[in-house]
A and B are shown apart, each in its own frame.
Chain A
Amino acid sequence: MELDKDNANPTILNPSDLPSRRSEATVRRRDDGAAGLFDDLIPRYNYLSDPFDEPTSASDSDDDTREDIDEQEIYDLISTICDPEHPLSLGSLSVVNLPDIHILPPSSPLSSISTVVVEITPTITHCSLATVIGLGVRVRLEQALPPRFRVDVRIKKGTHSTDEQVNKQLGDKERVAAALENGTLMGVLRKMLATCE
């Protein structure tokens, strides 16, 4: 990472062009315990109390305790992550894009597990930081979303030279868990996610 930047001149979107549903004032204030989540390198389940199940959702979802989470909310959670080599957000660099976020409902009425699929677009095809960016997205979502969501982060097909390899790493739970116990890597991730507060 101390090497020359892989992409010195990325395309940057104007913040007002980024997808958003609400007025700016209400977009981002989610006290879901994300602050301080990285104080300890061992992953803990601080979100055991589902932040989205709290009574605040009562207004728009009547009897159902489970508020639906949509793609825009997922986007809001990850678009503010800071790129590891530019002081810019993943949203403004178009690394994460709203149309590349999909939420798959439970496959059976007996199951309560939904899947979030996020395809990220690295700024250039050989970007060596694609894995770190993907890991940041996965970690952010796993820590912010209720545990009933499975998070699949992939490199968008055809946008990266080693996408299969990166996808396999990002999909490997054991590797992700071990990475989160790695102090150096966590330092990088902490910086990337600091902008999410």
Chain B
Amino acid sequence: MTSPTNARTHKLSPLATLTPPSISRTWQSAPHPSLPIVATACSDRSVRVYSLTSFTLLHSVTGGHKRSVRSVSWKPGTKGQSVLATGSFDSSAGIWRREEQGGALENDFTNRRVGAEEDEAQDDDADDYQFSCILDGHESEIKCLSWSPSGQYLATCSRDKSVWIWEELEDDNFETVAVLQEHDGDVKCVAWHPEEDLLVSASYDDTVRLYKEDADDWVQVALIEGHSKTVWWAEFEASGMSGKDFRREKEGLSEEQMKHIDGLERSGPRLTTCSDDCTVRIWRRKAKERDEHASSNTGVPSIIRSAAIDEDWYQEAILPQVHERAIYALSWSRTTGMIVSAGSDGKIIVYKERWRRHAEKDVDGDQMDVDGDRAPSPTEWVVVAELFSAHDVFEINHVCWAARADKGKRVDGEEVVLSTGDDGEVKVWTLDEDVVGQA
């Protein structure tokens, strides 16, 4: 019997290392939402912006922070300019802007890219990221920040145990719309739901919390417990994955499987988290009754209404446990639905969800049926790729998917994995099916 955890059907191969690397630890990398560039948060107080077409350094954003830059996030949906938020151990967040010439850049990567590289060689200054404003408020190190999908909100979190939500009223005028102090420890990560203004935070207190706006007040709507140690990262599934992942092929599915797909659709995008406890977990929202929407705007007292916006998130799966030390980051592909994770053990792991085969039902015991009465999921997650020592002997602080943009791109929508390590390097990996018999 083959254990699902041993089915390594794919292989991660090195494509490039972004050059020149940083000489000290790099923390996190964020691919631009539309351009083929990536920003990397560095412990030397700078942000490095690399090209994903040439794999070379385009900009070094310096002079803003007094300590490590821990986190970077690109504002989505900007026109004609790129907007970058940076969060630092100096307790502040910075906003940086750069004019992007040519209005068509969102649609035309290729032309735009050639032009940009020529500009780079000629003059730097006018082309650089301009410091735009600073967001002060946190009392200690900012650990993570994230723009909401609409670009309306920026969430920041800190060792001071709080999560702040900022709203940009006009250019460079940010207002604090919420200070959420639900956690009992450092808040390690914040991330937004792809469709709703629903924010998630993960913490040193081992919990995950969800927040929503209720009558002008942001409130906690769900508390997720399950991890036994610090939760380092949280990320939502992308929208519309039912047309892309294991659910795409609908032919020959059983009634139970169709029901499962329908149920997932009603739950909406799921949530995945990873932790110092060496597990990756999937959480799913309990779908609300349909007619509840009808009663939500009836002017009932706020105490009652608050209860109505509470959400029930439950654990759907624990992924096969392959990591041996803290898992610092993971990323859920918007193209394939695969999850990639990395951490202190220097490994990069890729997981894929598939229909559980009836024959091996429950053999691996991965489906922790913690809530008792829920039927085990008809799907299972398997490890499809496992790479050791991706950054030699160094720890990997961050991993994410990005659109492939170099000349070697083979198919539309091809993705690469970006890993960011203690060695100061950001590495680019391709994922290929491993032909049986090879290697």
Contact = CB atoms under 8 A, between A and B. Distances in A.
Contacts of B230: 168, 172
A43 B42 CA distance: 11
Interface stretch (A27-35, A92-100, A146-154, A185-193): A146-154
Contacts of B346: 111, 113
A181 B68 contact: yes
Which has the most chain B C-beta neighbours within 10 Å: A107, A112, A148, A174?
A174
Contacts of A112: 389, 393
Interface in A73-122: 107-108, 110-113
A178 interface: yes
A126 interface: no
A113 B393 contact: yes
Interface string B230-253: 100000000000000000000000
A177 B68 contact: yes
A42 interface: yes
A54 to B, nearest CB: 17
Contacts of B44: 42
Interface string A162-191: 000000100111110110010000000000
Contact of A108 (B140, B388, B393): B388
A109 to B, nearest CB: 10
Contacts, number: 73
Contacts of B186: 172, 174-175
Contacts of A42: 24, 43-45, 68
B24 A111 contact: no
A150 B67 contact: no
A62 to B, nearest CB: 22
B345 interface: yes
B325 A147 contact: no
Interface residues of B, number: 37
B345 A45 contact: no
B389 A150 contact: no
B192 interface: no
Nearest to A181: B67
A146 B422 CA distance: 13
SS of A interface (majority): loop
B23 A173 contact: no
A174 B324 CA distance: 18
Interface in A40-54: 42-45
B389 A111 contact: yes
Nearest to B24: A44
B347 to A, nearest CB: 8
A150 B188 contact: no
A174 B395 CA distance: 12
Contact of A177 (B43, B188, B347, B392): B43
A175 B159 contact: yes
Contacts of A45: 23-25, 422-424
Contact of A174 (B24, B143, B394, B423): B143
Contacts of B325: 150
B33 to A, nearest CB: 26
B276 interface: yes
A158 to B, nearest CB: 21
B422 A147 contact: yes
B89 interface: yes
B72 to A, nearest CB: 15
A168 B325 CA distance: 14
Interface in B67-116: 67-68, 70, 89
B415 interface: no
B67 A173 contact: no
Contacts of B331: none
Nearest to B326: A173
A178 B395 CA distance: 17
B204 interface: yes
A181 B393 CA distance: 24
A177 B141 CA distance: 11
Interface string B386-410: 0011001111000000000000000
Nearest to B68: A181
20 contacts: A42-B45, A44-B23, A44-B24, A45-B424, A110-B388, A110-B389, A111-B388, A111-B389, A147-B393, A147-B394, A150-B344, A168-B230, A172-B230, A173-B326, A173-B328, A173-B395, A174-B188, A178-B141, A178-B159, A181-B68
Given A42-B45, A147-B392, A171-B276, 9 more contacts: A42-B24, A42-B44, A45-B24, A45-B424, A111-B389, A168-B204, A171-B326, A174-B141, A177-B43
Interface of A: 42-45, 107-108, 110-113, 146-148, 150, 168, 171-175, 177-178, 181
The 4 A-B residue pairs whose C-beta atoms are closest, nearest first, are A148-B393, A110-B388, A181-B67, A178-B141
Interface of B: 23-25, 43-45, 67-68, 70, 89, 140-141, 143, 159, 186, 188, 204, 229-230, 276, 324-326, 328, 344-347, 388-389, 392-395, 422-424
